[in-house]
Amino acid sequence: MTEENYYRGKNILITGGLGFLGSTLAIKLVDLGARVTLLDGRIPELGANFFNIEPIKGRVEVVIANLSDRAAMDYYVRSQEVVFNIGMHSCHLESMTNPVFDLETNVVPQFHFLEALRYNNPQARVVYIGSRAQYGQALTIPITEDTPPNPKDIYAATKQAVEWYHLRYNKICGLGVTSIRLGNTYGPRHQMRHPKYGVQNYLIRLALDDQELKVFGDGLQKREMIYVDDVVDCLLLLGEKKACLNEVYGIGSAESITFLELVQAIVRACGSGRYVHAPWPEERKTIEVGDVVTDFTKLTRHTGWKPTILLAEGLAKTVDFYRRHREHYW
Amino acid sequence: MTEENYYRGKNILITGGLGFLGSTLAIKLVDLGARVTLLDGRIPELGANFFNIEPIKGRVEVVIANLSDRAAMDYYVRSQEVVFNIGMHSCHLESMTNPVFDLETNVVPQFHFLEALRYNNPQARVVYIGSRAQYGQALTIPITEDTPPNPKDIYAATKQAVEWYHLRYNKICGLGVTSIRLGNTYGPRHQMRHPKYGVQNYLIRLALDDQELKVFGDGLQKREMIYVDDVVDCLLLLGEKKACLNEVYGIGSAESITFLELVQAIVRACGSGRYVHAPWPEERKTIEVGDVVTDFTKLTRHTGWKPTILLAEGLAKTVDFYRRHREHYW
């Protein structure tokens, strides 16, 4: 648990603030009494959605600006105490079909954003959202923070590089940095228009629409599904605990399930849809990473964090949200 | 040894072709009967020098263009059979004082260059020049290709990321890629105007100018000095051998010496200059990597390559070159 008063009155900046994770975090931070600024580039096809922040409308500052806009960043990073740097795309496939999109969305803006912090607010504490994908086909199971990076696609290579860039800014200007290598996260507020980011969420849409959900191959690869509220609790702890400065963490879930079991649970939670097995499409096979099993004892040791929401409960909440707010996401 | 006729009549593209390594490679390739095109961005302070290609003047095509110039790259990569992608900066310190320079010089151009290859010549074979710096403070000694990356600065993180980008283009479009993680290379044709790239070369200038050479700390960190002709032989083999496709290699030297011994050997070879011990400057201490000891048996096994030129011999050749051509480098 985060200290009761740690975030009260603090200036907090969230990049990607209109997206899935950024907005959910913002709602919680406003609840804790923080002064929250949301930066969002509103990059087409990414997750920005004003409906996401409906519960805190008027109680947060919203700024639409690309992180590459150095003059804007110079201004907005000032006097921020904790920065949650979430604003990146997360599409493995797109990074392979269009690497320049990866460059322009995930690489270039991060350089300019870090430079803005360096010259205007090196005292800030920054939580960077890394990716489980950095491990690729994991060289050790379970995955720990010492498992060497082994990215299978451009996206994953970039996420690793930008994590390193963040950590090196500690040497450059004293910036306090923490990286969390996030895996599959699901829950309300994720974009549902296409399957490019967070396929686990899009599967919920397919089931709610009574469509067919495809399971490539036997679907027996192990997955960890983390409910977004658990991730938000984790981020809050990472932005607070001194032990987390200049550290990287993996994160996992309470249950280890197969992809097939996930699909079955989604169909069950929705009461509609059905699944079929299908052969692996070539472009997906080349970036598939096999089993994901993460040892997150370091995270628990440094922060006390543990996952609290089981898949059935998280799916029920998620399905309920989209049933009520379908018109804002479909 | 490279096959007698492998490069004869072949179309070869070298990026950074006016620099230290690119020009030395070009001279050798022209000698082997290849049709060589040199691309060079002539980025200020990097190593481009027309005098470097004096021995092959009129026998190579020289193109001044930045690798970010996609239209130019689309044109020049066509029908090239082997591409030696050497055109990057190599300054650790600059990457930390000015990360945007690293972005603009080593990251952005590489994306555009790889895309040009993808759409115009995915049959090409590409040799990428990685860096020993990717290992940083090496997590294993000796260093092998399986030693996890551990970059200590922005430059090194970028070199690792761009190596991954290259290798992933094999999945994207079938590009045949080899990476050689090059360490300290010395010899004729290196720029001598400042110590930012290849300090081992600049030390030779200081000694020739009868100046003081600084040894930070005790100077007992182990180093591997590779003479440029040995590196060129290695690159030729990497561009030829089938076993090298989609592989990465470390490279080392015949002798393991300390930095102090290197400085002493330089003073001896020049017959002038002297050295003093000095405390580590803060900005260098943070990026110092400790001992470098590389196990390059994989490279030898796949190509037959071994270093042939000992330090005393290589230094003698280097000193002789700069004595004769000082006005083009000072």
Q: Side chain identity at A316, as an amino acid letter?
A: A
Contact A99 B286 (CB under 8 A): no
Distance from C-alpha of B54 to C-alpha of A14, rounded to nearest angstrom: 55
A107–B112 CB contact, under 8 Å: no
Chain length of chain A:
330
- Which chain B residues have a beta carbon less than 8 Å from that of A150? none
> Do residues B225 and B184 touch, judged by C-beta distance below 8 A?
yes
If phi over 0 gives left and psi between -120 and 50 gives alpha, with beta otherwise, what is residue B249?
beta
ipTM score assigned to the predicted complex? 0.95
Q: Are A147 and A249 in contact (CB under 8 A)?
A: no
Contact, A241 vs A215, CB < 8 A? Answer: no
Chain A residues touching residue B152 (CB < 8 angstroms) = 168
**Ramachandran region of residue B210, left (φ > 0), alpha (ψ -120 to 50) or beta?**
left
> Which residues have a Cβ under 8 Å from the Cβ of B238 and sit 6 or more positions away?
B127, B178, B180, B244, B249, B303
CB A124 within 8 A of CB A52: no
Please say if the pLDDT value at position B210 is more than 70: yes
Contacts of A154 in chain B (CB under 8 A): 164-165, 168, 172
Q: Hey, is the C-beta of A96 within 8 angstroms of any chain B C-beta?
A: yes
Please report the DSSP string for A89-109 in residue order: ---HHHHHH-HHHHIIIIIHH
Rounded Cα–Cα distance for residues B265 and B253 (Å):
16
Average pLDDT over residues A20-26: 98
Q: Best mutation site among B110, B164, B166, B170 for testing chain A: the one with the most A CBs within 10 Å?
A: B164
Whether residue B285 lies within 8 A of chain A, CB to CB, comes out as: no
A1 pLDDT above the threshold of 70: no
Give the H/E segment covering residue A84.
strand A82-85
The SS3 assignment for A213 reads strand
What pLDDT was estimated at residue B1?
Answer: 65
How many residues belong to chain B? 330
Quick check: A178 and A244 in contact, CB under 8 A?
yes
| Residue A4 pLDDT greater than 80, yes or no | no
The secondary structure of chain A in percent helix, strand, coil, rounded to multiples of 5, reads 45, 20, 40
Q: Assess whether pLDDT exceeds 80 at residue B4.
A: no
Chain A's closest residue to B171, CA to CA, is A286
CB contact under 8 A, B111 and A96: no
Question: B288-297 pLDDT, tens per residue?
Answer: 888 999 999 9
Rounded to a whole number, what is the distance in angstroms from the first to the last CA of chain A?
34
Q: What sign does the dihedral A229-A235-A238-A239 (CA atoms) show?
A: negative
In this prediction, residue A15 carries a pLDDT of: 98
Q: Chain A residues with CB inside 8 Å of B116's CB?
A: none
Q: Is the pLDDT of residue A288 over 90?
A: no
The fold adopted by the segment(s) A11-191+225-254+293-308 is Rossmann fold (3.40.50)
Is residue A2 predicted with pLDDT exceeding 80?
Answer: no
Out of A112, A114, A161, name the one closest to residue B161 (CB). A161
pLDDT at A308 over 80: yes
Fold category of B11-190+227-252+294-308 in CATH: Rossmann fold (3.40.50)
Report yes or no: B171 at the A interface, CB cutoff 8 Å. Answer: yes
Q: Do A154 and B171 touch (CB under 8 A)?
A: no
Average pLDDT, chain A: 96
The residue of chain A nearest to residue B95, with distances taken between CA atoms, is: A172
Find the mean pLDDT for residues A144-153: 97
- A101 to chain B, closest Cα gap in Å: 10
Report whether the peptide linkage leading into residue A148 is cis, meaning its omega lies within 30 degrees of zero: no
How large is the average pLDDT for residues B29-43? Answer: 97
Pick B100's closest partner by Cβ from A115, A151, A157: A115
In the predicted structure, residue A60 carries a pLDDT above the cut 70: yes
Lowest mean pLDDT among A228-242, B152-166, B197-211: B197-211
What pLDDT, on a 0 to 100 scale, did the predictor assign at position A119?
98
CA–CA separation, B264 and B269 (whole Å): 9
Least confident of A78-92, A275-289, B118-132, B208-222: A275-289
Q: Report the candidate in A155, A167, A24, A182 with the shortest Cα–Cα distance to residue A92.
A: A155
**What is the per-residue pLDDT for B284?**
85
pLDDT reported for residue B27: 98
Distant-in-sequence, close-in-space partners of A302: CB < 8 Å, separation ≥ 6: A241, A243, A244, A247, A249
- Orientation of helix B259-270 relative to helix B311-325, angle to 10°: 50
Answer whether B322's CB lies under 8 Å from B208's CB.
Answer: yes
Of the ranges A4-18, A192-206, B307-321, which one carries the lowest mean pLDDT score? Answer: A192-206
pLDDT at B197: 83
| Whether residue A176 has pLDDT greater than 80 | yes
| Among chain A residues, CA nearest to B172 | A96
Report which of B214, B126, B114 is spatially closest to residue B172, judged by C-alpha positions: B114
**B42 Rama class: left (phi>0) / alpha (psi -120 to 50) / beta:** left
**Considering CB atoms only, which of A112, A157, A165 is closest to B165?**
A157
- A-B contacts at Cβ under 8 angstroms: 72
Contact call for residues B228 and B26 (beta carbons, < 8 A)? no
Cα–Cα nearest to B227, from B189, B179, B274, B263 = B189
Closest Cα of chain B to A77: distance in Å?
Answer: 18
SS3 state of residue B21 = helix
A149 part of contact set with chain B, CB < 8 Å: yes
Selection from A243, A251, A233 nearest residue A295 by Cα: A251
> How close, in Å, is residue B43 to chain A by CA atoms?
20
CA-wise closest residue to A135 among A271, A25, A293, A10? A293
Indicate the pLDDT class of residue A73, thresholds 50, 70 and 90.
very high
By the CB < 8 Å criterion, does B152 face chain A? yes
Contact B107 A112 (CB under 8 A): no
- Residue B178's H or E segment, with its range, is strand B176-182
Domain boundaries, chain A: 11-191+225-254+293-308
pLDDT score recorded for residue A82: 98
